[in-house]
Every structure is written in C-alpha cells, then in structure tokens.
A and B are shown apart, each in its own frame.
Chain A
Amino acid sequence: MPALMMQPDLSNLVVSGPVRNAARTAWQQHGWPGPRVESWRFTKLDRLGARDITPASSLSPTTAGDGLAMAQGMGAHAIRIINGIIDPASLEALPTGLTAGNLHDDQDAQDAMMALAPPDHPISNLSMAVMSGGLVLDVAGEVPKSLALIFEGDDASLSAHPVVLIRLAPAARMVMAEWHQSAVGLSAPLIGLDLAKKASLDFVKIQTEDSATSHLSATGVLLAEKARLAGFSLSVGGEMARLETHVTMAGEGADCQLSAIYLGRGRQHHDITTVLNHDIGHCTSDQVIRGVLDDRARGVYQGKVRVAKDAQKTDGQQMSRALLLSRKAEVDAKPELEIYADDVVCAHGATVGELDATQLFYLTSRGIPEANARAMLIEAFLIDAIDSVEIDSLSKILLNVATQWMAQTGLTSHGD
C-alpha cells in the first residue's frame, strides 16, 4: 500500500554492496508504513515522515552514562555504540568465546542478517541501508563473562542505525544485556540473533532513551533445534518507542520465552510487538507482558503466535495485563493466534483495568496508607513478571529500572 505521508529520501546515500543496495531500493519503494497498514494501526509514524535520515559521520566521545555503570555492576564486557557507531576500543579484549567482525565488509553476514530481520519492517530496510555501525559477533562455547551492548548518543539531530548480528555456535551459552540510553532523534537498531543447535541466550533489553527520542528497534531471532532463548524487554524511555521482535523456531525442541514490561507516563507511547513463528513442531513459547500507564501515556501490545502446518505438539502461551493509573491513559492490545496445525496447545489471555479494589481494601484495612498500598500492588504486578527471569544479574537490572521508574512516578510502597 502506498504510504500517505512524507518519506525521507535515501537516493543520495552512499551505499556499498548488493544487500544494502537492495535494502535501500526497498526503503525507497515502501518508506515508513502509512496509517492504514494493519500492523501499525496503533502506532503512527507521521512525525518521522518529516525527519531527514542523518547518520553520524564519525565517532565522537560522550560521557559514560548509566549503561556503563550497569555493565560494571553485572561484571559484563561493555561494547559501546555511540550515535550509532561502534566504538572500536570496546571490541578489544573480548571475553573468551567472543569474536567480533565488521558487518560492513561481510556480504554473507549481511545476507544472513536480512534473512533474520523482521520482514516488512521499515527499520529492516532503513538501518540495513544506512548502517551507521555494523557488527558481527560470533559466540562459541560458554562465554564466562556477560556481554553488555550499550547504545548511547547525545545529538538530537542525528539518527542512529546500528546493525548487530550475533551468532551463537552449537551449544554456545551467553548472558547479555542491551541498554538503550541515547538522546539521538531516532534510535533505530536492527539486531539479529542466530542460535544454532542447543545454543542458549539469556538477555534483557532496557529501553531508557531520552524523553525526546523516538526508538524503533527491530530484532530478528532464529532458533535451531533445542536452542533456548530467554528474553525480557523493559521499555520506559523515549517519546515514542516500538520494540518489535520476530522469532522463528526452525528446529524441534526450541524454547522461547519473550516477556516484556512497558511503563509509560506523560505523553509517552510504548509499543511492544512480537511475532512468534512456530515453523516446526515440538517447540514451546511463553510470553508474559505487563504494562503500567500513567498520565496521558499510551501502551500498545501486539503479539502474534503463528503455528505452521505440521508444527504439531506446539505449546504457545501468552498473557498480557495492563494497568491504567490515570483517566487519560490508553491501552491497546491485540494478542493474535494464527494456527494451522491441530495437535497444539495454544492460549492467550489479556486483561486491562485498574488496581483490584478488594486487594487495595485488604491492604488499607491493615493500616497501610492507600498510596503505599497502591505502589505495593503495582510493584507486585511487575515483580510477578520479572520473577520468571532465571539469571539474577539480569533480573536485578530489570528490578532496578522498574523501581526507579516507580519512584520517579511518585509510587513508593513504604511510608515516608
């Protein structure tokens, strides 16, 4: 469908190689999705139409933010991506089992990246074409140290288009944190996670961008036989943010947990979109989504579970719950099941509402001030989801960010 909005033109962009050229051609053809494209009905990109795509031309030093502190706290090796450009210094002394390569010169990896990238997603084409920074990380064996990818930036006139492909060799294991904290105008990371047989990846993604930043990230995941992915996204920052993840389970016995929390206030817009493709049988997926919205914030959750023909013995579960704290907040949910195989167990649930009045009464009747009781219940609502994270260092990060958000929103569970 032709888009009915302004579109940034990439015809003057210098692009090398067939993959990136094809991506540019596709971008020029489709651009930003218009208001009538079904998967973008709840998240409008109108304001991006007028924005020029201006990647940074060189690496500029920035002051280290919370991201580095977070990496240090969890004892991780930090790779810094500043204004969309990979800081080469942070690729030195990588932990054992990690090898870094340059995606700019690697046609095969670019091909692999495009095969993983969410199809029909504007960032798949845009960031592949622009590629302000390109990184390939190969992971073998059990990586002794966790990895932190820190996306920083300080220039609102810029748009950041880093492309990161992470390939886990058979039986490789890694723990990773993705930290997005930049003040660029548009933060548009394209990330590919390719997990070979029996590989395992635990990761969290923290979106805590500047309040004026638009964050649009596209993540593509491929899971081979018995591969395991446990991912958790937390979206609190940005003016408008959409975290979209597409997972394809291509080998039997693959397991995917993909949970998320979005916390919105002011006029923020948070969108969590997931597509889980069960292409083959005997795989399991589980998603837990929680949202809390205050002021005039809007939260969107779209989650699709697709079970292909013959993907028998699939187990796909999805549960999304949202809390509205204010009269002007809005939540939109679209959990979706698309099922072509019969021997499956698939279910989804969705609820929207305010705090449970009886729970609130229980706490206040025991002498807890109402404000504290409310905060307590919200905290419990979030912890309920975070509890599923197995790696302590990761759940700690999630908890810290969530607690911080609650404090900033004036929600404290203990008396002053």
Chain B
Amino acid sequence: MAATTQTIEQVQEVTGKYKYGFVTDIESDKAPKGLSEETIRFISAKKEEPEWMLEWRLKAYARWLTMTSPDWAKLDIPPIDYQDSYYYAAPKSTEKLASLDEVDPELLATYEKLGIPLNEQKRLANVAVDAVFDSVSVATTFREELSKAGVIFCPISEAIRDHPELVKKYMGSVIPVGDNYFAALNSAVFTDGSFVYIPKGVRCPMELSTYFRINEQNTGQFERTLIIAEDESYVSYLEGCTAPQRDENQLHAAVVELVAMRDAEIKYSTVQNWYPGDENGKGGIYNFVTKRGVCRGARSKISWTQVETGSAITWKYPSCVLQGEDSVGEFYSVALTNNYQQADTGTKMIHIGSGSRSTIISKGISAGKSQNCYRGLVHMQPTAENARNFTQCDSLLVGDRCGAHTVPYIVSRNPSAKVEHEATTSRISEDQLFYCLQRGIEEEGAVSLIVNGFCKEVMKELPMEFAVEAQKLIGISLEGSVG
C-alpha cells in the first residue's frame, strides 16, 4: 500500500539517515582502556574528587562485579565487552574558561551544526546550556543569573567539590548503587552530568538544558544527573541528545535522580536521538538508562516526558516513587524505532502516599524491522489510600516486519486505590486516510496528520523549545508544512 511505503520513507528520513553524523576531531585525554579499580581511581583523580567519592565509586564497582546483566527485557543484546571500552575521555583543555571565545572553535562549530544556542541567541531563547562534550562540561552559561535566584546549576563534578553536603545527602538516595547492573556501573565510573538545586520557594527563572554529546570513539558515556527541588519550588529540565555516526557500538549507562520536596514540581523532558545504527543494524548506541524521581513531600509532582527516536538499543524506565500525600507522577512517552532498532521502555509508578495520582501515556511507533516494547509497572502499596492511576499505551505499526509489544504489570494492595490500564495496537487506519484524502489532503500530508495526532497527547507536554525539534524527529513536519 502506497501510504505505508510513504510512511516508511518518512520514518527512514527521520531515523534512518542520520543527519547529525559527523565527528569532531579533538585530541582527548583518555583513561586506560578497560574497567578496573585502577580506571576508577584514574577517573576520580582526574576529577580531583574527595576520598569519600572514590570510596563510593569503589563500593559500587564491587557491587557491580557481583551482578549480572538483566535479561528480562524484550531485547536481543549482543554480549558487551566492558574491557574494550574507555571510561573517561576529556576534551584537551580542561581549565576553566571565562568566556566562549576561549572555547575550542571546533567545538563551537560542532554545537553550531547541532543548533545549540550557545551564542547570543541563547539569551533570546532564554536557555541556559550546560554543554557536556564527551565527559567534561566545558561551558556553563547563565550561571550568574541563576545564582541570583539561588539556583545551583553546575556539572556534578563541581557539585561534589563545592556542595559535598548536598551530594552526600542525595546522591544514591533515589537510586542506590546496587539498584541494578547498569546503575551500579554508572555509580562506579560516572564522569559527568548535571547538578541542579532549587531552593525553597524558588521558581527557576529559565528552562535548564543540557545537550549530551557522545564524541570520542569507544567512549561510553556515564552521565549522572541529580536534581533537588526544595519545598514549593519549580524547575523544568531539558535533556537533548545527538551523537555522531559510528560503526562500533557504544555503551551509554546514565543515571538520573530527582528529588521533589513538599509542593515542589520537577518537569524533566528528554529528546533522545543518538545514532541508531545503519539500515542493516550495524552500529548504534546502546542506551541503558536508570531514571527515577521521588516525590518526598506532600503535593509534590514529577513529570517525565520523553521522545525516543535514537539508539540501537534502548533500555529505559523513568519512574516515580510517590511517597508524599497527594503527590503526582506523570510519564509521557513517544518511542519510535526503525530498521533494526530495539526499544524496551516504559515507567514504574510506585504509589506509597495516600491520594497519590499517576498518569502514563505511551505512544510506540515501530517501523522497518524494529522491535518496540512498552514495559511498565503500577504498584499500589497498602498505604496508597485512594490512589489513582490511569495508563494508556498505544502502538502503531508501520510495515509488516516490525513488532510492537505491551507488557504492563499491575500490582494493587489497596482496595481504595484505582488502577486503569488500556492498550491498543493498530496500523494507520484506512478510514482515517480515506477521510483525509477525500477532503483533498494529499496522502503524504494525511499520513503526517495521522501520526501527528497519534503522538499529540505526548508532544503537547514538551516545552516549546523542544517541541519543534521533537516533531522534526518524529517526522510529522517532514514537508515543513505540518506541526
């Protein structure tokens, strides 16, 4: 059927031909290849970390050695040789820079190509960018403006140095070092990431944004992000990912921890567009991410929004632990897979507090020979009096060689808690297409319109800055007319 072919083409255009596939040539300062206690000591020394941090890392490493890679996901993961990877790579100039002029021009050119507003435009866009290039943050902007509001937004390595009491208190409090295989690995070798602290009663004056970029060949990225929102505060955090084209598989195991206190709200949005491998399934990023937020205080709220189009393998379940009374957890997700991509993604909503509420909206689009799986848990603990969950998972199949799977887990131990789950799987309906066509909309436009509509519930949750890029990635604005 022509429309299907067209949709396949559109999807290919978005995910197949990877337009961010370029490599920046900067000599890097690498840790010895392979993973050992020595590597961890090297990373810790390189980061000029205090002793307690090194000990924390070594403890995590010891835990990791006793663990095995999880095998329950619907993923076919080739064996990963953890000794065949570099765990640290820093751009050559690591000294602190006073202004953008001092940043390696090649680096700046890379950002330019990615469209990161790291120049004056950023002021207009009102975006502070903590740009992580490979593993070391080289430029942080708008720091001053943020610090006026009392907001701390800095690389995590800096936070370890400057705010050890906060890091000690919160790091690992949401995701313990031994939480899972990949979190343990991250805890041992994490190189950088962001640290955000919003003091009591502060509404963060701008959207915080970090662009992650995997650049050095054979360097896994182990980001570690920690966001703490004190009572009555608000922050919106944007994470966007692009990476240059590679032949070899690259490992990424990030950890993101969010803590929301009483009446605080954290909105965390992600656009993930790492190299997905070529049409034959060669190469691509392996993305094993542990993201979890805890709503500690009453009426706190954590909202995850993600648009996942990249990576050869995605293993990612941004979760909410709803501890506080009347706390709210949200998960909005669009996951698009094409060619030989595999995605196993979803969320966990752990309801502990009475009156806690959660909403899960997941839209999966599979094309090519890809496999796309939603896996989610809704757990109502005995204390979750009058808690509510609503889950909707829809899958759209494009072409007849792909797979779409839905694996929800529901555990309820409180009779007053209400759980509702619904899931559908279908392809673009002929009726919808026909309806559009007979009203004079071209087939191409009709497909865009339908896919657009399919994802709309999630896309509308994205901050403006991201919505445009995300829609591009999803392919609904391929002709520049829709979206």
Q: Are B408 and A350 in contact (CB under 8 A)?
A: yes
CB distance from B11 to the nearest CB of A (A): 13
Contact partner of A324 (CB less than 8 A), chosen from B74, B403, B412, is B412
A337, A350, A351: the one contacting B425 at CB < 8 Å is A337
CB atoms of B427 and A343 under 8 A apart = yes
**Is B417 in the interface zone, CB < 8 Å from A?**
yes
**Distance in angstroms between the alpha carbons of A342 and B4 in the assembled complex:** 10
Name the 6 nearest CB pairs between A and B, nearest first: A324-B415, A342-B397, A353-B418, A333-B410, A352-B412, A337-B406
Q: Is the CB of A336 within 8 A of B407?
A: yes
Beta-carbon contact of B409 and A339 below 8 Å: no
B residues 417-463 in Cβ contact with A at 8 Å: 417-427
**A-chain residues with CB within 8 Å of residue B404 when the two chains form the complex:** 337, 339
If A339-B425, A342-B397, A346-B425 touch, whether A353 touches B419 (CB-CB below 8 Å) is yes
> Counting CB contacts under 8 A, is A362 at the interface?
no
A15 interface contact, C-beta 8 A = no
Closest CB of chain A to B480's CB: distance in Å? Answer: 28
Compute how far the CA of A334 lies from the CA of B410 in the bound complex, rounded to whole angstroms: 6
State whether the Cβ of A310 lies closer than 8 Å to any Cβ in chain B: yes
Residue B414 lies at the interface, judged by CB distance under 8 Å to chain A:
yes
> Which single residue of chain A is at the shortest CB-CB distance from B392?
A349
Bound-complex Cα distance A340 to B369 (A) = 10
Q: Is the CB of B424 within 8 A of A346?
A: yes
Bound complex: CA of A346 vs CA of B414, how far in Å? 30
How far is B423's CA from A339's CA once the two chains are assembled, in angstroms? Answer: 12
- Known A-B contacts A331-B410, A332-B410, A342-B398; the reply to A347 vs B422 at CB < 8 A is yes
- A335-B418 CB under 8 A given contacts A309-B401, A346-B424: no
Q: Is B413 at the interface (CB under 8 A from chain A)?
A: yes
Taking CB atoms, residues of chain B closer than 8 Å to A337 are 395, 404-407, 423, 425
Q: Out of A332, A340, A353, name the residue touching B415 (CB < 8 Å).
A: A353
Query: Is A330 in contact with chain B by the CB < 8 A criterion?
Result: yes
Q: A309-B401, A351-B420 are in contact. List 7 more A-B contacts (CB 8 A).
A: A310-B400, A324-B412, A337-B425, A340-B403, A345-B426, A347-B423, A352-B380
The answer on a CB contact under 8 Å between A327 and B406 is no
- Asked if A352 contacts B419 (CB within 8 A), the reply is yes
Residues of chain B with a CB closer than 8 A to A352's CB: 380, 410, 412, 417-419
A330 CB, nearest partner CB in chain B, Å:
5
- CB pair A350–B72 under 8 Å, yes or no, is no
A350 to B406, CA, bound (A): 13
Category for how many chain A residues contact B: 35 or more
Let me know if B399 is at the binding interface, CB within 8 A: yes
Q: Verify if B227 is at the interface (C-beta below 8 Å from A).
A: no
- Kindly provide the distance from the CB of A397 to the nearest chain B CB, expressed in whole angstroms: 29
- CB neighbours of B407 from chain A (8 A): 334, 336-337
The contact string, 1 if C-beta is below 8 Å from chain A, for chain B 161-197, is 0000000000000000000000000000000000000
A330 to B384 Cα, complex, angstroms: 13
> Does B109 touch A at the CB level, under 8 Å?
no
Asked if A344 is at the interface (CB within 8 A of a chain B CB), the reply is yes
Task: Provide the residues of chain B in CB contact with A116, threshold 8 Å.
Answer: none
Instruction: List 18 A–B pairs whose Cβ atoms lie within 8 Å, in order of A's numbering.
Output: A328-B382, A332-B410, A332-B412, A336-B407, A337-B404, A340-B403, A341-B397, A343-B400, A343-B427, A344-B427, A347-B422, A348-B423, A350-B422, A352-B380, A352-B417, A352-B418, A354-B415, A354-B416
CA distance A405 to B111 in the complex (A): 69
CB pair A327 B408 closer than 8 Å: no
Chain A residues in 8 Å Cβ range of B40: none
Across the interface, which residues of B come within 8 angstroms of A38, CB to CB?
72
Q: Are B423 and A335 in contact (CB-based, < 8 A)?
A: yes
Q: Is B154 an interface residue (CB 8 A)?
A: no
Residues of B within 8 A of A310 (CB): 400
Residues of chain B with a CB closer than 8 A to A340's CB:
402-403
**How far in angstroms is the closest Cβ of chain B from A359?**
14
Kindly supply a per-residue 1/0 record for chain A positions 230-273, scoring 1 wherever the CB is within 8 Å of any chain B CB and 0 otherwise.
00000000000000000000000000000000000000000000
Answer whether residue A326 sits at the interface, using C-beta atoms and an 8 A cutoff.
yes
Report yes or no: A334 in contact with B409, Cβ–Cβ below 8 A. yes
A327 vs B404: C-alpha distance when bound (angstroms)? 36
- Residues in A neighbouring B401, C-beta threshold 8 A: 309
Decide yes or no whether A284 CB sits under 8 A from chain B. Answer: no
Contacts A333-B410, A347-B425, A350-B408 given; does A342 touch B400 at CB 8 Å? yes
Q: Is the CB of A339 within 8 A of B408?
A: no
Q: Does B411 contact A (CB under 8 A)?
A: yes
B74 surroundings in chain A (CB, below 8 A): 338
Q: Determine the chain A residues whose CB is within 8 A of the CB of B417 once the complex forms.
A: 352-353
Give the chain A neighbours of B427 by CB distance below 8 A: 342-344
Pair A338/B415 contact, Cβ less than 8 Å: no
Q: Measured between alpha carbons, how far is A330 from B417 in the docked complex, in Å?
A: 11
- Whole-angstrom CA separation of A343 from B1 in the bound complex: 12
> Is A177 in the interface zone, CB < 8 Å from B?
no
**Which residue among B410, B416, B419, B427 has the maximum number of chain A CB atoms within 10 Å of its CB?**
B410
The interface residues of chain B lying within 8 Å CB-to-CB of A331 are 410-412
Instruction: Indicate whether A312 reaches chain B with its CB closer than 8 angstroms.
Output: yes
Provided the pairs A310-B400, A353-B415 are in contact, do residues A344 and B423 lie with their beta carbons within 8 angstroms?
no
When the two chains form their complex, are residues A338 and B403 in contact, meaning their CB atoms are under 8 A apart? yes
Q: Indicate whether A325 reaches chain B with its CB closer than 8 angstroms.
A: yes
